[in-house]
Homo-oligomer: A and B are copies of this chain.
């Protein structure tokens, strides 16, 4: 159904200039996507880490209370730390977690949607106290002429969702945290429904509860309530929102991700009526997109395809996706064909 672009991956870490001379870029992925002023914009998650001089030390970067960079130095053979997951280390004694990279958001612009000019500086960088482990996985929703960017705010205070907005991608206004930890994968609808703004979100309860996709309503995009489950992970696997919902004649099309027990991330899709975003009327029974190509099956965290943004132009659907938590790639499909493939 989807055709991968021959230039894939479109953006690789080495295409991105580090934000500091002592950092190297190890990921440029999970980009929010929108169109602005005749260009296609991506807000990349750029993951950086300190250039390692010593292979036996894992430097874990984070920001302190003043916003200054700190490097926690952990020996890779230190028995007190679990270092098996390439993305993080865990202190076995306390359960505390540090990330091995620090992510910020970076703007990339393109006329053809394939060749991108990537800003040399970050578009938005983490601030204490809720983004000291970085900002991840931006989604962009154009609402009433303004662009709302939600992203995952990561810190020792938890994994929460923050909101910012811009009219021109130059002046940025921050709106603080809109969902308390742990909650991420928020996708905001581009239009009000029933007089309210709508989003999907994905709380991450522990003990009781599963990784389901929930809905919320808001009068102002800042305050959210009336929470309810839309897609149950018992039905669809460990799920989370992907691209902000796409408005079509048939309804709102949502492309989401699902992970299996082996941490293999695939994409699925569901459709809701235009006036009932909480009621799924059709859904993919098998993944509509899965890791197959080498850049999808191996990399920083292999076997992952993950989208934060898809652009529909007429019947053409351009799916931008992160591959292996490392690169940004593009796959294209017929929008109507994707919708037709969903089962009631």
Contacts and interface: CB of A to CB of B under 8 A. Distances in A.
Interface of A: 95, 97, 129, 133, 154-160, 175-183, 201, 203-210, 212, 214, 216-220, 222-229
B225 A222 contact: yes
Given A129-B229, A203-B158, A219-B219, A208 B224 contact: no
A71 to B, nearest CB: 18
A176 B227 contact: yes
Stoichiometry, as copies per complex, reads: 2
16 contacts: A95-B207, A97-B207, A157-B209, A159-B209, A176-B226, A178-B227, A180-B227, A181-B209, A182-B203, A182-B207, A204-B206, A206-B207, A219-B219, A223-B223, A223-B224, A223-B226
Interface SS, A side:
strand
B177 A227 contact: yes
Q: Which 9 A-B pairs have the closest CB atoms?
A: A158-B209, A206-B206, A158-B205, A223-B225, A223-B223, A181-B205, A177-B227, A180-B203, A222-B225
Contact of A159 (B157, B182, B208): B208
Contact of A208 (B156, B212, B220): B156
B208 A97 contact: yes
Nearest to A129: B229
Contact of A179 (B133, B180, B222): B180
Given A203-B158, A219-B219, A220-B219, A208 B182 contact: yes
A229 B182 contact: no
Contacts of A205: 157-159, 181-182, 204, 206
Contacts of A229: 129, 157
Contact of A228 (B176, B181, B206, B228): B176
A228 B156 contact: no
Contacts of A206: 182, 204-207
B225 A178 contact: yes
